[in-house]
Amino acid sequence: MLQQFILPAISFGISATTVPGPLIAYLINTTLTQGWRKALLIVLAPVITDAPIIILMVFILGQMPADILRLIQLGGGLLLYYIAWGAWQQYRAGSLIDTADAENTTEQSWQRVLMTGIMMNYLSPGPYLFWATVNGPLLVLALEQSSVHALALLVAFYGTFMLGLSGWVFLFHFVRGVNERYLKTIILLTIALLLWFGTSLILSALGVVS
């Protein structure tokens, strides 16, 4: 079980947290502007949303239809634009959280932060494609062995994935202590990444890029 299911699941979890994506960009931006406590809520988003995605992709559809995938990409791109616009407005207003977690910042409620993370996961094609093509077949194989094998695979993957995302949060929590000029540069970079990922999703949905 270790070599057949757990180690591959751990490697997939590491890959999911080391390859930059829109969720990680939003995670970093939230850490820098809202603090580490609210950023950790975003770590929970995949665990909350993935159960129906797994059921849909592994046991019902098997493979995401192209038209549905394009709609998801379009919705995800527009959501990333909306998030980037909100982050830019906050940046221009100068309401960046300081190194002491001061109260003079423009705070977002924990419900809004969590819901945004959930919507990002639902409107990103990544989880659908991942469970349809990579982790899904491995999960089916594990279920053929036993439910214990399947549970071990899921725990190994999500344990690694959540630890990796939490690592980003705490890394950039400490980055918040650097010179404010560098901090603003990093925040601008996360906004640019959100716009870039959003544009990529929209262009892919429109068939401009593959």
**Domain presence at residue 54:** yes
Q: What is the pLDDT of residue 106?
A: 54
pLDDT at position 119, please?
92
Q: Indicate whether 99 belongs to any domain.
A: no
Nearest alpha-carbon partner for 46 in 97, 116, 118, 101: 118
**Does residue 96 lie in a domain region?**
no
Asked if the structure places residue 100 within a domain, the reply is no
For residue 88, CA distances in Å to 75, 80, 142, 145 come to 20, 12, 45, 50
- Spatial separation of the C-alpha atoms in residues 59 and 64, rounded to whole Å: 12
Instruction: Indicate whether 145 belongs to any domain.
Output: yes
**pLDDT at residue 26 in the model:** 92
Classify residue 98: in a domain, yes or no: no
User: Is position 94 within any domain?
Assistant: no
pLDDT at residue 72, rounded to an integer: 86
CA triple 161-183-24, angle to 5 deg: 20
At 63 the pLDDT is 63
Question: Where in the sequence is the domain holding 78, given as residue range(s)?
Answer: 2-12+24-87+106-205
Distances (CA, A) of 16 to 19, 34, 165, 205: 6, 24, 9, 22
Residue 35 region by backbone torsions, left for phi larger than 0, else alpha for psi between -120 and 50, else beta = left
Q: Are 43 and 31 within 8 A, CB to CB? A: no
- Can you give the pLDDT of all 210 residues of the chain as single tens digits? 777 889 999 999 998 898 778 899 999 999 988 889 999 999 999 999 998 988 888 877 656 677 877 888 899 899 999 989 988 887 777 655 544 444 444 567 888 899 999 999 898 888 888 888 888 889 989 998 999 999 999 999 999 999 999 999 999 998 877 777 777 888 889 899 999 999 998 998 888 866
Q: What is the dihedral of CA 50, 195, 165, 143, to 10 degrees?
A: 30
Asked if 31 contacts 169 with a C-beta cutoff of 8 angstroms, the reply is yes
> Model-level pTM?
0.82
Residue 115 within any structural domain of the chain: yes
Is 74 in contact with 195 (CB distance < 8 Å)? no
C-alpha span between 136 and 104 (Å, rounded):
46
Burial zone of 144 (CB within 10 Å; 0-12 exposed, 13-18 middle, 19+ buried)? exposed
Among 199, 210, 204, 174, CA closest to 79: 199
Cα of first residue to Cα of last residue in the chain, in angstroms, is 37
Structural domain count of the chain = 1
**Rounded-to-integer distance, Cα 26 and Cα 23, Å:** 5
Predicted local confidence at residue 181, as pLDDT: 77
